[in-house]
Amino acid sequence: MSSIEILGTGYVSAEKKISNFDLEKRVDTSDEWIVQRTGISSRYVSETENTSDLAYKASLKAIEDAHIQKEDIEVIIVATMTPDCMTPSTACLVQAKLGLNDCPIFAFDINGACSGFLYAFQIASDLLNRYHHILVIGSETISKMIDWNDRSTCVLFGDGAGAMVLGRGETQLYHYANSEGDLQQVLHTEGLPLIHDLQNSEPQTHFLTMKGNDVFRFAIRVLKESIENVLEQSGLTIDDIDLVIPHQANYRIINHVAKKMKVDISKFYMNLQEFGNTSAASIPIAYAMAKEEGLIPEHGRVILVGFGAGLTYGATLIDNVGGQ
Ligand code: UT7
């Protein structure tokens, strides 16, 4: 258990909105199939901006929302599996874009795939023993690792970024993180796409491949396990929780979990209709949007829960949101 405060949040979508109808023109799919099987109606795709650009924009919003000076930031952690380049880290690029080159900043990326933000958030909360203000970001331009001719993956994903500024406070956190090393390539991409090129859809080794049904079953199992784990640690029940913010992968996955846990689906926040799956950005974007919509009450309780390639998964129960 650790104590923090979420001082500010912000999010951005990528520039270009692509509807299911747009995808119908590109691959053999239909709006009806995508909506029925996933709940997704659109997604945003970056045309000129890379992962650090989206991360920077979301950070500016989170810093403004936190009512701090950007110079107060001591740590920058970016969760991403689609960095701009191998090195420097996206976090260092964000530091530069924020104009903080002369400030002493502990900056690094982590790759936990779609669980990346949860992993970063958990690391950041532990680092608050040493630092006062930490910028945690989930940012992806996953479009650059998508084969836009593969209907089984291209309909699912989108680009975006979400950020939080964390400080010390009285909000209690209960964490759970796990992984099940995968050599079966259930959710996999070779190498690293360094060049952002939406037009080039010739077969590439860096395109994401996925055994969708395996991921579906895995997701239902570990989302439930992760939620139950943090509830048990906290001594709370699901009825004590105001909102669950799951990784925004598929409406049907979330609905299965809600049914298995005998919880009304309305307790699970979803923006996947508009954003699709933005990987490490999905949870911080959803948190910021839920906050904007007034769905996260002061002193309330929220569970963040996710899963992704690795295979990785985990949850954090946030108790006493905004507690000082
Ligand atoms: O962050 C984690 C990322 N990954 C996920 O969360 C993925 C988890 N898995 C899923 O969400 C689902 O498995 C999918 C949405 C990917 C697929 O849904 P499904 O209900 O499991 O469909 P399926 O893979 O069993 O495919 C059913 C049919 C197949 O055709 P046949 O073999 O029955 O003739 C597919 O070829 O649907 C076909 N299909 C499509 N049809 C129209 C697959 N993709 C499409 C498509 N449009 N986009």
Per CATH, domain 176-181+206-319 is 3.50.50.60: no
Atom of ligand 1 nearest to the CA of 23: 48
Mark whether 114 is an active-site residue: yes
Question: Using CA atoms, how far apart are residues 69 and 252, in angstroms rounded to an integer?
Answer: 41
Mutate to test the pocket of ligand 1, among 36, 150, 152, 312 (most ligand atoms within 8 A of CB): 152
Domain positions in the chain are: 2-168, 176-181+206-319
Query: Residue 190 has what pLDDT?
Result: 64
Residues 6+ apart with CB under 8 A from 46: 14, 15, 16, 53, 54, 141, 143, 159, 196
Question: If you count them, how many residues does the chain have?
Answer: 324
Q: Do domains 2-168 and 176-181+206-319 have the same CATH topology?
A: yes
What is the pTM assigned to this prediction?
Answer: 0.95
DSSP 107: E
Say if ligand 1 is within 6 A of residue 149 CB. Answer: no
pLDDT means per 10 residues, the chain with 324 residues, are 88 96 96 98 95 98 98 98 92 97 94 97 96 98 91 96 97 95 74 54 72 94 98 97 98 98 97 98 98 95 96 96 71
Query: Residue 198 has what pLDDT?
Result: 53
Query: Residue 266 has what pLDDT?
Result: 97
Alpha carbon dihedral 276, 280, 285, 287, in 10-degree steps, equals: 120
What value, to the nearest 5°, has the Cα angle with vertex 161 and ends 289 and 179?
A: 100
CATH code of the domain occupying 2-168: 3.40.47.10
Query: Residue 208 has what pLDDT?
Result: 84
DSSP 195: S
Q: What are phi and psi of 179, to 5 degrees?
A: -155, 155
Question: Using CA atoms, how far apart are residues 115 and 106, in angstroms rounded to an integer?
Answer: 21
> How far away, in angstroms, is 210 Cα from ligand 1 center?
10
